[in-house]
């Protein structure tokens, strides 16, 4: 900064800017509150249907979020401008005071473009001697002024640097960067550049101290968007891959392997989270980073010609964090192209990604080696639902290039080449690389991560989470994938039963499509019963036979059984609550005969529970040989997962919220019919292991029939009381619901016998 610029600075424009931003922050604070309370919350409670449910509600949620981001960004900009103004005013004051003190010593300061001069204030002919006599004072003043200008320059540059960085974070809309002052933002950028410089060293030159600095810094700043963008872009994609590969190559870097082996998992998490945050940036530097990272996917990383590919290294860093959707999709597209090249379009195993003893151990989160990049990539997709949906629906191989055959619809042609989607290839055909743990037991991380990715792709929320009122309605892509899962499991249920560890995710998926499943089980050709099971967004097209096969299969695993059975009870109770509401719009009513509607709901819920119970029997009688108590234990564990929350386990496709039944309880939360039913369900889930499979099957069927009917009866009673429906109570609506549930439960046995006899074991 030039001396005259600071010396004659007019701060009015900067003062006006700070005032304007302060005013804007206040307005945005009000708008943020209005958007959340008056727009978002109201939208969540509205009875959405059709296109509005699929598009408008989600748009409102995103718009509300933009107000929050706009407020955060404006607040950060105001803080940075305010800090910079305060510092520059102080530097201006210090400069003026120093010049005034110099004048008292007969020194004058002359500024010019690019610098300044301090000289003695005497006529020109005596200036040389005067400067000689006052050399110490001249030098002291010059150094003081230069120090002030250096500080002012730093204040100005650092403010400019972080303001530009914040602006670059989002090409459209607003970033969520939030900083309380200029110094915190500047410190984040400075630390990112410092750590990137260390990480860019040759791997063999990295020390244990370097490792500690990087790990500590990433741990502190991994959620900071400016830090993440600057660290990733400064390090670059190639150096990022070489850094992680080198740290894990014992030949290159034995020191870290010896001294920090137990901390490599922390570094992997922190580095993954940092890179994930960086990919959310719209800066030009990160756009190039993402393109170049994908281009490095099939290139060898490290000094050895037989070293790992870029995909093998990077995919392990995708196990944590929410990566940019478009980057994940583009990355997955080239990853699958590489898989096709290495497997002959899936005709043989991918030996290039099978771990061997000399390969570096690239993964430290879990037990697998990380040599198969699809394992890490699947985990990344499980955190990014939209990217997962697009990926699984993409084509893996065309009919012309396919080595896979399926039975043809043409009765004269038994086999024919078929095109496969990424889902079909990974779920049905891929030969996942085999690895074992230290005890020699099979590691199934790849397929398990596949199940998690499918959970995110079909539900619209990250795997392991429970849907909330904010979870968007199912869209066409999610529904298409769910239909494919149902069809695949029905076609060959061993695709799931031989990999039972996937059933918890498939069970969660099924639980969020209960409206669609119930519709299929009604066998209603004119679709009048669609109003009985309201669906917002896109609805799945399923047939009764396939959903029966799915439920029997999922029911053979305790976790899968629990996910659907708990959700089924909750869904049934909420659905009764919904249809007993006397204020339900006429167009939303299934029938003016509410009693008939409740009987149909009870029957549908009973059939779902009965079909699951058949699957549970198979696990006791068949080769799975699960102890019966594990089922009740799994049901019991779901209590902590769902806690009776709104949107929990009732399926995203519903458009209602249960009415309070028991009045206000602790914390002001009203009990619902659903929460009270689930309390009984969890309380009863104690489980007893049985020795005789045949007896166990008979006893559990009878017990299931009775308890399911009891829960349904109570749900009808509670819902009727909540809406003061004395007319229904007088008609013994609870008893009619019980009878409907019992009939549905029994029909499950009959339907399974005729629709899926191959899934039942004779005892």
The model's pLDDT over 443-492, given as tens digits with 9 standing for 90+, comes to 899 999 999 999 999 999 999 988 877 788 899 999 999 999 999 999 99
Sign of the dihedral through C-alpha 416, 422, 423, 425: positive
Whether 419 maps to a domain, the answer reads no
**In the structure encoding, which two tokens stand for residue 230, read together?**
């600057």
- Does residue 666 have a pLDDT over 60? no
List phi, psi (to 5°) of 421.
-80, 170
Residue 581 resides in a domain: yes
User: In the numeric block, which tokens belong to residue 450?
Assistant: 């596949």
Got the DSSP string for 394-416? SEEE-TTT---EEE-SSTT--EE
d(CA 332, CA 54): 26
pLDDT category, 525, cuts 50, 70, 90? Answer: confident
For range 27-34, the mean pLDDT = 65
Task: Give me the pLDDT at residue 342, please.
Answer: 96
Strands (E), 435-486: 435-436, 442-443
Query: Cα(436)–Cα(367) distance, rounded to whole angstroms?
Result: 9
Question: In angstroms, rounded to a whole number, what is the distance separating the alpha carbons of residues 251 and 203?
Answer: 11
**Secondary structure (3-state) at 398:** coil
Could you tell me the CATH number of the domain that includes residue 129? 1.20.1260
Of all residues in the chain, what percent carry a pLDDT higher than 90?
35
Q: How far apart are CA 708 and CA 710, in angstroms?
A: 5
Helices (H), 460-593: 476-491, 494-497, 503-511, 514-522, 544-554, 558-580
Structure tokens of 411?
């009765």
Average pLDDT over residues 555-576: 88
Please compute, for residue 144, the number of CA atoms within 13 A of its CA located in the half-sphere on the CB side: 18
Is residue 528 included in any domain, yes or no?
A: yes
Beta carbons of 391 and 328 less than 8 angstroms apart: yes
Instruction: Look at 629 and 219; give whichever has higher pLDDT.
Output: 219
Report the run of H or E that residue 397 belongs to, with start and end. Answer: strand 395-397
Length of the chain: 763
Give the mean pLDDT of 125-150: 82
The pLDDT score that the predictor gives to residue 212 is 95
Whether 440 maps to a domain, the answer reads no
Domain that holds residue 393: 182-397
**For residues 575-583, average pLDDT:** 86
Rounded to whole angstroms, the Cα distance separating 69 from 178 reads 9
Rounded CA separation 375/544 (Å): 34
**Are 377 and 494 part of one and the same domain?**
no
Residue 729 CA, distance from chain mean position: 45
- Sign of torsion over alpha carbons 634, 640, 646, 652: negative
The answer to whether residues 748 and 636 belong to one domain is: yes
Residue 591 — φ and ψ, nearest 5°? -160, 150
Q: Between 375 and 251, whose confidence is greater? A: 375
Q: pLDDT digits over 734-763, tens only?
A: 888 888 878 878 887 777 777 776 665 543
- Dist. CA 628–CA 382, nearest whole Å: 30
- Mean pLDDT check: name the lowest of 385-399, 422-436, 459-473: 459-473
Report the candidate in 670, 657, 669 with the shortest Cα–Cα distance to residue 43: 657
Tens-digit pLDDT profile for residues 510-520: 999 999 999 99
Over the stretch 245-259, which tens digit does the pLDDT of each residue have? 999 987 777 777 778
> Residue 114 burial (CB < 10 Å; 0-12/13-18/19+)?
exposed
Question: Distance (Å, rounded) from C-alpha 177 to C-alpha 188?
Answer: 12
Closest among 480, 478, 436 to 453, alpha carbons compared = 478
Both 99 and 165 in a single domain?
A: yes
Both 309 and 164 in one domain: the answer is: no
User: For the chain, what percent of residues have pLDDT higher than 70?
Assistant: 77
pLDDT reported for residue 651: 41
Is the domain of 283 the same as that of 147?
no
Q: Are strands 660-664 and 395-397 parallel, antiparallel or unpaired?
A: unpaired
CA end-to-end distance (rounded Å), the chain: 89
Same domain, 96 and 207: no
Looking at residue 310, its pLDDT comes to 97
- The Cα 390–Cα 388 span in angstroms is 6
Residues 131 and 219 in one domain: no
Per-residue pLDDT at 661: 42
Residue 659 in contact with residue 481, Cβ under 8 Å? no
Q: Can you list the pairs that 413-420 forms with residues at least 24 positions away whose Cβ atoms lie under 8 Å?
A: 419/395, 420/346, 420/395, 420/396
Backbone φ and ψ of 672, nearest 5°: -115, 165
The Cβ of residue 681 has, within 10 Å, a number of other Cβ atoms equal to 21
Last residue of a domain, one of 397, 422, 452: 397
228 pLDDT band (50/70/90 cuts)?
Answer: very high
Buried b (16+ CB within 10 A) or exposed e, 93-113: ebbeebbeebeeeebebebee
The model's pLDDT over 639-662, given as tens digits with 9 standing for 90+, comes to 656 554 444 444 434 444 444 443
**Could you tell me if 353 and 433 are in contact, meaning their C-beta atoms sit under 8 angstroms apart?**
yes
Q: Are residues 143 and 258 in the same domain?
A: no
Q: Is residue 244 part of a domain?
A: yes
Q: Could you tell me which residue, 596 or 21, shows the higher pLDDT?
A: 596
What does the DSSP 8-state code read for residue 434? P
> Considering the entire predicted model, what is its pTM?
0.77
In this structure, the answer to whether residues 660 and 711 fall within a common structural domain is: yes
DSSP state, residue 369: -
> Where residue 281 falls among pLDDT bands split at 50, 70, 90?
confident
CA gap 723, 538 in Å, rounded? 30
Domain co-membership, 389 together with 510: no
What radius of gyration, in Å, describes the C-alpha atoms of the chain?
33
- What would the mean pLDDT of 533-544 be, rounded to a whole number? 90
Strand extents, DSSP E, 192-275: none
Q: Give yes or no: residues 54 and 119 share one domain.
A: yes
24-38, 41-55, 558-572, 700-714: least confidently modelled range? 41-55
Which residue, of 340, 373, 397, is where some domain finishes? Answer: 397
Mean pLDDT of 582-610: 85
- Other beta carbons less than 10 A from residue 582's beta carbon: 9
C-alpha span between 499 and 557 (Å, rounded): 10
Q: Which of 169, 202, 226 is the last residue of a domain?
A: 169
Write down the pLDDT at residue 710. 81
Report yes or no on 340 lying in a domain: yes
* Of 621, 564, 654, nearest in space to 49 by CA: 654
The string over 454-474, giving b where at least 16 C-beta atoms fall within 10 Å of a residue's C-beta and e elsewhere, is: bbbbbbbbbbeebbebebbbb
Q: What is the pLDDT of residue 759?
A: 65
DSSP strand pairing (107-112 vs 115-120): antiparallel
Structural domain contains residue 111? yes
**Does 238 lie in the same domain as 146?**
no
- Residue 332 belongs to some domain of the structure: yes
In sequence order, the 6+-apart residues with CB closer than 8 A to the CB of 298 are 309, 310, 311, 334, 338
Of residues 614, 531, 586, 595, the one with CA closest to residue 738: 595
- CA-CA distances (angstroms) from residue 429 to 362, 380, 446, 488, 491? 26, 21, 14, 11, 13
SS3 label, residue 363: coil
> How many Cα atoms occupy the beta-carbon half-sphere of 86 within 13 Å?
9
Contact 675, 644 (CB under 8 A): yes
* H-helix or E-strand spanning residue 75: helix 57-104
Based on the structure, what is the number of domains in the chain? Answer: 3
pLDDT in tens, 679-736: 666 666 644 434 444 444 455 556 667 777 887 888 888 888 888 888 888 888 888 8
Residue 761 in contact with residue 623, Cβ under 8 Å?
Answer: no
Q: What is the mean pLDDT of residues 249-275?
A: 88
């Amino acid at each position: 900064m030039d001396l005259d610029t600071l010396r004659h600075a007019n701060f009015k424009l900067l003062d006006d800017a700070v005032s304007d931003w302060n005013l804007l922050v206040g307005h945005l604070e009000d708008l943020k509150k209005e958007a959340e309370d008056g727009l978002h919350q109201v939208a969540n409670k509205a009875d959405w249907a059709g296109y509005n449910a699929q598009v408008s509600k989600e748009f409102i949620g995103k718009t509300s979020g933009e107000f929050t981001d706009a407020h955060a960004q404006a607040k950060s900009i105001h803080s940075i401008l305010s800090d910079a103004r305060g510092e520059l005013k102080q530097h201006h004051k210090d400069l003026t005071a120093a010049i005034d003190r110099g004048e008292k010593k007969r020194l004058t300061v002359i500024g010019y473009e690019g610098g300044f001069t301090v000289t003695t204030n005497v006529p020109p002919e005596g200036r040389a001697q005067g400067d000689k006599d006052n050399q110490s004072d001249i030098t002291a003043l010059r150094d003081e002024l230069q120090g002030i200008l250096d500080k002012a320059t730093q204040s100005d540059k650092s403010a400019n640097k972080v303001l530009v960085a914040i602006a670059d974070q989002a090409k459209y809309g607003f970033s969520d960067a939030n900083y309380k002052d200029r110094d915190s933002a500047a410190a984040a950028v400075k630390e990112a550049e410092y750590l990137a410089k260390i990480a860019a060293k040759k791997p063999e030159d990295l020390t244990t101290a370097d490792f500690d600095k990087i790990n500590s810094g990433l741990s502190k700043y991994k959620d900071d968007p400016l830090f993440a963008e600057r660290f990733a872009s400064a390090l670059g994609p190639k150096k990022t891959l070489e850094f992680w590969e080198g740290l894990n190559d014992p030949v290159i870097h034995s020191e870290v392997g010896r001294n920090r082996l137990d901390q490599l998992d922390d570094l992997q998490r922190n580095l993954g989270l940092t890179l994930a945050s960086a990919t959310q940036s719209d800066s030009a530097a990160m756009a190039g980073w993402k393109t170049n990272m994908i281009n490095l996917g099939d290139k060898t990383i490290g000094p050895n010609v037989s070293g790992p590919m870029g995909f093998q290294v990077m995919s392990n860093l995708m196990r944590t964090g929410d990566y940019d959707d478009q980057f994940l999709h583009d990355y997955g597209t080239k990853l699958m192209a590489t898989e096709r090249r290495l497997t002959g379009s899936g005709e043989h195993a991918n030996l290039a990604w099978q771990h061997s003893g000399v390969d570096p151990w690239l993964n430290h989160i879990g037990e697998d080696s990380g040599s198969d990049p699809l394992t890490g990539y699947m985990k990344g997709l499980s955190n990014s639902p939209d990217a997962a949906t697009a990926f699984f629906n993409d084509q893996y191989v065309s009919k012309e290039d396919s080595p896979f055959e399926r039975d043809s619809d043409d009765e004269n042609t038994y086999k024919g080449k078929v095109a496969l989607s990424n889902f079909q290839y990974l779920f049905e055909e891929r030969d996942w690389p085999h690895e074992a743990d230290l005890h020699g037991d099979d590691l199934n991380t790849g397929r398990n991560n596949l199940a998690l990715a499918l959970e995110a792709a079909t539900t619209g929320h990250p795997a392991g989470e429970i849907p909330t009122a904010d979870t968007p309605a199912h869209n066409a892509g999610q529904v298409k994938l769910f239909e494919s899962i149902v069809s695949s499991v029905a076609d060959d249920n061993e695709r799931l039963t031989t990999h039972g560890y996937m059933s918890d995710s498939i069970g969660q998926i099924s639980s969020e499509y209960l409206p669609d499943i119930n519709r299929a089980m009604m066998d209603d050709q004119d679709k009048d019963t669609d109003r009985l099971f309201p669906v917002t967004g896109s609805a799945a097209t399923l047939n009764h036979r396939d959903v029966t096969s799915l439920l029997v299969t999922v029911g053979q695993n305790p976790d899968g059984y629990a996910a659907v059975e708990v959700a089924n009870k909750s869904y049934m109770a909420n659905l009764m609550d919904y249809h007993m509401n006397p204020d339900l719009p006429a167009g939303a009513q299934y029938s003016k005969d509410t009693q008939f509607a409740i009987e149909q709901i009870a029957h549908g819920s009973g059939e779902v529970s009965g079909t699951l119970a058949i699957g549970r029997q198979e696990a006791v009688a068949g080769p799975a040989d699960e102890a019966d108590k594990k089922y009740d234990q799994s049901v019991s564990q779901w209590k902590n997962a769902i806690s009776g929350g709104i949107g929990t386990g009732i399926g995203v496709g519903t458009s209602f919220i249960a009415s309070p039944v028991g009045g206000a309880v602790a914390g002001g939360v009203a009990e619902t019919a659903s929460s009270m039913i689930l309390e009984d369900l969890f309380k009863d889930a104690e489980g007893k292991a049985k020795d005789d499979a045949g007896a166990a099957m008979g006893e559990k069927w009878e017990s299931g029939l009775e308890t399911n009917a009891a829960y349904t009866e109570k749900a009808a009673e509670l819902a009727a009381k909540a809406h003061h429906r004395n007319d229904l109570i007088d008609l013994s609506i609870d008893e009619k619901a019980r009878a409907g549930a019992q009939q549905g439960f029994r029909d499950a046995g009959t339907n399974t016998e005729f629709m899926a006899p191959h899934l039942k074991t004779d005892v």
